[in-house]
Amino acid sequence: MKKLINSVDTVLSDSLHGFCRAHGDILVAGDDLKFVRRKDLKQGKVALISGGGSGHEPLHGGFVGHGMLDAACPGQVFTSPTPDQMIAAVEAVDTGAGALFIVKNYEGDVMNFEMAAEMAVGEVATVLTNDDVAVEDSLYTTGRRGVAGTLVVEKIVGAAAEAGGDLASLKALGDKVNARTRSMGVALTSCTVPAAGKPMFEIGDGEMEMGVGIHGEPGRRRVQLATAEEIAAEMTGAILRDLGEAASGEVLLFVNGFGATPAMELYLMYGEAVKSVEAAGLSIARSLVGNYVTALDMAGCSITVTVLDEEMKRFWDASVHTAALRWGM
């Protein structure tokens, strides 16, 4: 294993120190690195808090800042953060309007965020993301996995919070965005967790894992490597079938890299996904391409489709200033 690390025991803390130094104009670290939070809090605003296992950067810390999250709680690699991290984050960023947790549907995340919501002082609501159409259950989840669609929820709800939305309306909006969002991923290689020192799973040179999860969980099936056109057609087809009658009008098309896929290939996949989406009669109103919800060094990508309405478009377009997303400022 070749990694740019000092030791497997300090990889997360070392990374967080560097992250906060690089983006000190936007965010600061909480005590004992339990969370990172927005540097300049907006009084009277509902606080948005998310988090999860590390290894998916820039999710979630890279989305802390104006127009998105107020705090993010990083767990160890592919491991849920603990309730005390979330409680500390609430105490640091809740300015009196309550807090909204945005939680990916993984068993540890759900359990720990639920415990934190029960123990936190002040009003707390939760939006659960479960956009992955590949499989209903895995080692990590009960029900569908929360994957790249989480970014879409965080961006749209974050803009609504910045505009002054109350806790109830923000939860309703988050649930709506999640319900109108579907994703599916494909892996060409495994990822390597530093503590393990070897790939999480074996995959042949001529194989791919269709429907893989962001922790390297198995997908729908192991198949022979196909062309980008064929891969994109299968993924978008599964997404649109799952959306059913809701798949109409304008959509956001988001092609996300898993960490080791170059931009050239991601844009190529975007171009192929466009063909399938437009062939289904949909209009692509907004786009995003890049490595945003990763799986360490896994090669592959996911495709996300969100069916937009005017409110969602307005909040997607609203200004954002974070380490990983910046526009309109």
Q: Kindly list the catalytic residues.
A: 56, 215
Contact assessment for residue 216 and residue 299, using Cβ atoms and an 8 Å cutoff = no
The amino acid occupying position 227 is: T
Residue indicated by tokens 């592959």? 300
Asked if residue 157 lies in contact with residue 174, where contact means CB atoms within 8 angstroms, the answer is yes
Judge whether 59 and 295 are in contact, CB under 8 Å. no
Query: Which residues, including other chains, have CB under 8 Å from residue 184's CB and lie 6 or more apart?
Result: 132, 133, 134, 211, 235, 238, 239, 302, 303
DSSP for 170-192, please give it.
Answer: HHHHHHHHHHTEEEEEEESS--B
Place of tokens 């893989």: 212
Q: Is the peptide bond before 58 cis (omega within 30 degrees of 0)?
A: yes
**Beta 47-54 vs 71-77: how paired, if at all?**
parallel
> Are the beta carbons of 286 and 316 closer than 8 angstroms?
yes
DSSP 94: -
How far is CA 70 from its chain centroid? 15
Nearest 5°: phi and psi at 228?
-60, -40
The Cα–Cα gap between 19 and 102 comes to 22
- Number of helical H runs and strand E runs in the chain: 8, 15
Residue 119: which H helix or E strand, with range? Answer: helix 107-119
Q: Measuring CA to CA, which residue among 145, 116, 283, 162 is closest to residue 214?
A: 145
